[in-house]
Structures are given as structure tokens and as C-alpha cells.
Amino acid sequence: MSSEWPTVQLSDCAEFQEGYVNPSQRNSDFFDGPIKWLRAVDLNDSIVSDTTRTLSEKGFRSAGKSALLFEPGSLAISKSGTIGRLGILEDYMCGNRAVINIRVNHSICDKYYIFYVLKSKRAEIESLATGSVQKNLYTSVLGSMELDLPPLETQKAIARQLWSLDKKIQINHQINQTLEQMAQAIFKSWFVDFEPVKAKIAALEAGGSEEDALLAAMQAISGNGEAELTRLQSEQPEQYAELCATAELFPSAMQDSELGEIPEGWESGTLSDIASFSSNRIPKHELTLETYISTENMLENKKGVCPASSLPSSASVPGFEPGEILISNIRPYFKKIWLANISGGRSPDVLGFSPKHKGTNEYLFNLLYQDCFFDYMMLTSKGAKMPRGDKKAIMQFATATPPIDLMRHFSEHVKSFYLLATSQHRESESLASVRDSLLPKLLSGELAVSDDENQLMAESISPLQEVN
């Protein structure tokens, strides 16, 4: 029980290092190098393996004597902005002024145990921050925070219970990233590189027949050779027929256009030909922290959304429906985008896009997901200090538009990826709920770590059987 565990201060079992690496944003030579630059936005309450921005050696050294690297295996916590966000570092990183590095004394403490203690004390940590203009968490105050410290083996056992759940959540996140990459790879092959079209052209130029051209496109689409396709036709004729039907949707020639060469029969147009801004509204009383999307709770670098920290003050806000694409219109270089899978509301600074053609939502999402679209938003944006996308200019984004049937076929082809990603996300939410209910009970000693940890975990996860 916790009554038998000594109470110590965090400074008794850890050392602290504040981040000081804040190179000038005006010097492009300081960025996009090999050094990972840890900021508060990178802290995800889990393992941190990468950062959204990196520094060059020159940018790192611009901090002078403060140019220090945080070590792998250490912890980091945000000290301003959203105070108390945590991360376990998986690599060497330098930190900016919004983060504090925590190096745990491994002879008396388990880093994962300290991680979960800090996670459980988020509200207390936030209350420790001081400042009139912007609140900050100082190392001296953080170090004075008290915690119960059980024997090291008990710490490790508690951490294992909780980490096994977080590990599953992390795996789900990695699966979702892979699914996103798969959808993007197909989109790039079909609509950017025109690989099925070029495969047909190459087959015909080599003296092949229309049938040979179709087979070449099927190989380009599936990534399989002729022998594999022959086996597919024999063993899975329905799948073979579906692949053949997909290949038939692509032409066997290119044509000149304002955009350069594009597949024959495709249109050289603009985003306004296939999409419009959504305009419905939703009353505030129908919103929750999970269904309200603002630019603050959209994640950088196309990583989706997280729950909002607060709700809007206005009586109503713009709404969105499942299948709409939301993009932050503030500082487009952050590349904040999400394919909505729920209904909800959004702040005016979050744009909602709807396809003009039914069943092409996934096509539109992958089109807007391209880096070139965000580059265009920045190029046509207004405002220097805080660039804001120009809605009129956005709709003039030039694009080669394929036939509607092909857009729909692509959307249907990748829809299962997004459905699985949604399922994985909901499972992760259930796992997080179990973890959060276990956390205070394990840390207080109310729930003892049994000799058979697997039995405890099985009992804890049993409500999740329906989603597994």
C-alpha cells in the first residue's frame, strides 16, 4: 500500500535540464538538418522517436553553451503553452525553451514509473506554473513536487501493467500511419506519376496489343509480374476481374494541357471543379471536446486531430459531417489536415471541404494531402507574421481532374484503409480509458500488482473483447 511507501520530492530521484535552443526563424540555414529539435508540440504522452522540425549543425550551435542534447531514455515535459505534456525520448534531441528534460536516477527509480506519476499529476503540474502574461513551469517548482516511491521492482511492475496498454496504442498508431502511406502511394501512382497510363503507352510502343497494354497496366497497379497475375486469375478470378476493371479505367495515351502532359480524356481544371467549402453550422450546446475542431487541436504534419482543450464562446460555429476534409487555414506550412469520421463543429479558422461528386471523398482528401497543395496555400496566403490562406485563391488550385468514375473507384479502393484506421483509433480510445482507470489505483496502491501480472491485465482488458 502507498502508506508503506516513502514520500519523496521529484528532485530526489531526477535531474533537470531546460531547453535553450531557439534559433532565429529568419535564417533558413539553421533548419532541416540532422539534429532533432524537440518542441512542446512533439510531446505526445508516449514514445517520441521523431520531431516535426530538425536543425542543422549551424542552427544547433547558434545556442552557444546552451547547445545541449537530451539523451535517449530520458523524459521531457512541456513548461509553457499546454503545460505538462510528456514524452519518453527514443533518440538524441535538442530542446527549445518550451521543454524541460528529466533524467531519472535509475538506481532508485524506473523511468516509466516516473512517467506515469507525472501523467497522473497533470492538473497539479499545471497549477504549479506561474506568470502573468504566459504561465511557465520552472524546474525548481517541478522538483519540489512530491510522490510516493515504492520499491524499484514494484515500480517496474506497475509500469509494465500500464505500458503494455500504451504499447498496444502505439502499435495501432503505427498501423494507421502505414495505412495512410499506402493510400498516398496509390494516389501518387495513379494521379501524379500516371504509372498505369505510362505502362500502357510503353507496351503499345513496344509493339504490343491492347491486351498487352491492359496487362501492363494491371502489373503497374498491383505491383505483380505476369506470372503472379496468371496465378491470381486461376486462384482468385474475382480479384483478377476487379484488377482488370481498374486498369480499363486508365487511357493509353497522354495529351498536352496547361499543366503539361496529362492522361488523355482528363481535364485541366481547378479545385473548384471538384470541391466546395462546406457552410452548415452547429449550435455550441451540441459540441464536446471530442467533436470540436480548432486549429489548436489539429496536429502538425498531417497527423490528424486530438481532443480540444476548450469549447468556443460563440453560440454556434461552422459544422462538419463525416467524409469532409478539414484543413487549418492559419499558417498552412504546419500542414494540418483531417478526414472527418464524425460530425462536429469547427472554428472559423478551420476550412471544411466537401466533394462535388458523391463518393469521391477519399480522392479529394488525398489530393489536398499533397505537399504541393500546402505550398500553394502558402504562396497565395495573406499576412506575413501569421499567414492565412486566401479562400478564393485556394479554389483556383490547378489540378488534372480524372473522370468521375476513376475518382470514385480510387475512393472505394482505399475506403477500407480509412475504416480500419477508424476502428484502430476507437480501440486505442478504449485502451486509453482502461489505462486511465488503472493509473490512480496502481499508483496509490489501491490495486496491488499481483504475482501473476498477466491475470491482472486480462481482467483489466476484458471489457475490450468486443473491439478486438
pLDDT in tens, 190-219: 999 999 999 999 999 999 999 999 999 999
Query: Helix 111-120 vs helix 404-444: angle between axes, to the nearest 10 degrees?
Result: 100
Q: What is the pTM for the complete model shown? A: 0.83
**pLDDT, tens only, 36-82:** 999 998 998 999 999 989 999 999 999 898 899 999 999 999 999 88
Give me the pLDDT at residue 461, please: 42
Same domain, 214 and 343: no
Please give the grid coordinates belonging to residue 106. Answer: 535509475
Residue 63 in domain: yes
Among candidate residues 116, 150, 184, the one where a domain is terminated: 150
Q: Has residue 262 got a pLDDT over 90?
A: yes
Q: Cβ(317)–Cβ(348) under 8 Å? A: yes
297 is written with which cell numbers? 487541436
Residue of 383, 384, 281, 373 whose CA lies nearest to 336? 373
CA torsion through residues 117, 440, 120, 51, sign: positive
Which cell goes with 206? 513496344
CATH number (domain holding residue 324): 3.90.220.20
Cβ atoms within 10 Å of 387's Cβ, excluding its own? 18
* Segment 289-328, tens digit of pLDDT: 999 999 999 998 898 998 898 999 999 999 999 999 999 9
Q: Across the strands, what pairs with 346?
A: 293
| One domain, residues 24 and 139 | yes
Whether 348 and 420 map to the same domain: the answer is no
Residues 92 and 156 in one domain: no
Same domain for 340 and 259, yes or no, is no
Question: Is residue 175 situated within a structural domain?
Answer: yes
Asked whether residue 257 falls in the same domain as residue 158, the answer is yes
**Can you spell out the DSSP letters for 33-87?**
EEEEEE-GGG--SEEE---SEEE-HHHHHTTGGG--PBPTT-EEEE-BSSTT-EE
Give all strands (DSSP E) within 249-336, no chain letters.
Answer: 254-255, 262-263, 267-270, 275-277, 281-283, 292-293, 316-320, 325-328
In a domain, 295, yes or no: yes
**Per-residue pLDDT at 452:** 44
CA–CA dist 441, 368 (Å, integer): 45
At residue 1 the predicted structure's pLDDT band, cuts being 50, 70 and 90, is: low
The burial of 354, by beta-carbon neighbours within 10 Å (0-12 exposed, 13-18 middle, 19 or more buried), is given as middle
Give the end of a domain, one of 133, 150, 167: 150
pLDDT tens figures, 434-454? 999 999 999 988 888 764 444
Q: What is the share, in percent, of the chain residues with pLDDT greater than 70? A: 95
Q: Are residues 212 and 285 in the same domain?
A: no
In the predicted structure, residue 463 carries a pLDDT above the cut 80:
no
Q: What DSSP line would sit under 171-237, residue for residue?
A: HHHHHHHHHHHHHHHHHIIIIIS-HHHHHHHHHHHTT--HHHHHHHHHHHHH---HHHHHHHHHH-H
Q: Residue 264 has which C-alpha cell? A: 488523355
Estimate the crossing angle of helix 152-187 against helix 111-120, to 10 degrees: 80
Give the span between the Cα atoms of 162 and 129, in whole angstroms: 27
Give yes or no: residues 143 and 156 share one domain.
no
468 part of a folded domain = no
pLDDT at 133 exceeding the cut of 90: no
- The pLDDT of residue 459 is 45
Nearest Cα to Cα of residue 144 among 3, 17, 14? 14
23: left (phi over 0), alpha (psi -120 to 50) or beta: beta
Q: What angle do CA 56, 61, 66 make, to 5 degrees?
A: 130
Counted residue by residue, the chain has a size of 468
Kindly tell me if the per-residue pLDDT of 339 is higher than 70.
yes
- The answer on 261 and 410 residing in a single domain is yes
* Helix locations, 297-403, DSSP H: 361-368, 371-379, 391-394
Question: Within a domain: residue 454?
Answer: no
Decide which of 346, 366, 401 is a domain's last residue. 401
Q: Please indicate, yes or no, whether residues 12 and 109 belong to a single structural domain of this protein.
A: yes
Q: Confirm whether 420 is domain-assigned.
A: yes
Q: What is the mean pLDDT of residues 336-360?
A: 98
217 in the same domain as 230: yes
Give pLDDT tens digits for 393-412: 999 999 999 999 999 999 99
pLDDT over 80 (residue 279): yes
- Evaluate if residue 86 carries a pLDDT over 60: yes
Task: Please indicate, yes or no, if residue 50 is contained in any of the structural domains.
Answer: yes
* Residue 226 belongs to some domain of the structure: yes
Q: What are phi and psi of 166, to 5 degrees?
A: -65, -35
Q: What is the pLDDT of residue 465?
A: 35
pLDDT of residue 450: 63
Rounded to an integer, the average pLDDT of 112-141 is 93
Residues 82, 139 within the same domain: yes
Partners of 37 in the β-ladder: 53, 94
pLDDT for position 2: 61
Q: Which domain holds residue 297?
A: 271-401
Provide φ and ψ at 416, rounded to 5°. Answer: -65, -30
Q: Percentage of the chain with pLDDT > 90? A: 86
| Number of domains composing the chain | 3
pLDDT, mean of residues 414-429: 95
Measured from the Cβ of residue 468, the count of other Cβ atoms closer than 10 Å reads 9
What is the tens place of the pLDDT at every residue in 7-23? 999 999 999 999 988 88
